[in-house]
Amino acid sequence: MNEKSIRVFASATVANVASGFDIFGFALTNPGDEVVAKLSDSKGVHIVQITGDNGVLPLDPKKNTAGVSVLKLLKHLNIHEGIELEVHKKMPLGSGLGSSAASCVASVFAVNELLCNPLTIKELLPFVMEGERIACGSAHLDNVAPSLLGGFVLIRSYDPIDVIQIPCSLDLFCTILHPKIEIRTEVARKMLPKEITLQQHVTQSGNACGLIAGLLKNDAELISKSLHDSIVEPVRSTLIPGFKEIKFQAIKSGALGCSISGSGPSVFALSLSKAQAEKIGRAMENACRNHGHECTVYISEINQNGPVVLTC
């Protein structure tokens, strides 16, 4: 059989984006994960190597998010060719940056390329989201969709899947602060309130709609006013040491807004220039370290392109 192989990078993502719990997300340019996919004479999916995970992730494809996603894809296509995968984790696990999503997206995108693109990019969504079910018990799209499609996305519906890309011409930069702690998504989801008030619903809906309008109108002031979460952030922020000070320093340093990335512990802030993003990053880092935690800061543009083929 042809020894054709391909290496693909898929980026980290910011999900929820303050007011859009489970329905908003955007893609970063860094960090991210890389996957090498290769056709094999041995039938089935075989994960031959995982790096950067400290031995935590399983090689069994039925228990691995990337493996599950590719198995679902091959079953759908009724393809029995063998696939070998190498997964190279280049971002922290349990970071709130869509680590499992990046691996799923890179794997499915790579295999679809190997098979000469039998499916469109959007048609890959049901398969990448199945990996998320393994990772956190819920097949949500707010990480995998932006990582796969690029840019800022709205998940309008899950049944049927309806994902809308939101164009924005502003040169937005994202500062990510990742404290060296881990918050498991399933734990963070259990903290969520089962009921909310009508006023909370109205406030959150207004901010969600305002954020979309701000992006479409390239209105930084409206984006800033809309980056507020009155439902999830107050609960989950208790898991992040020094969150209030980190957010205060980000806003003080010029951020349009600041909130939790996904289920945390990473915290994101948006701004309008790289220099501003770096200034915000220094302020957030100092606030985190003042509360006794080591951290990493990433500065990223918004990734408008989705996965990237590195070698083939």
Given a contact cutoff of 8 angstroms between Cβ atoms, the answer to whether 5 and 39 are in contact is yes
Rounded to 5°, angle at Cα 145 from 62 and 147: 85
d(CA 250, CA 266): 13
Q: Which two tokens stand for residue 134?
A: 């393994």
Beta-sheet pairing, 45-51 with 82-88: parallel
d(CA 137, CA 130): 10
Q: Is 185 considered catalytic here?
A: yes
Given a contact cutoff of 8 angstroms between Cβ atoms, the answer to whether 175 and 202 are in contact is no
Rounded to 5°, angle at Cα 148 from 167 and 280: 65
Catalytic residue among 34, 84, 132, 233: 132
Catalytic residue among 29, 86, 185, 285: 185
Q: Is 238 considered catalytic here?
A: no
Q: How far is CA 38 from CA 73, 124, 245, 268, 279, in A?
A: 15, 19, 47, 35, 42
The catalytic site residues sit at 132, 185
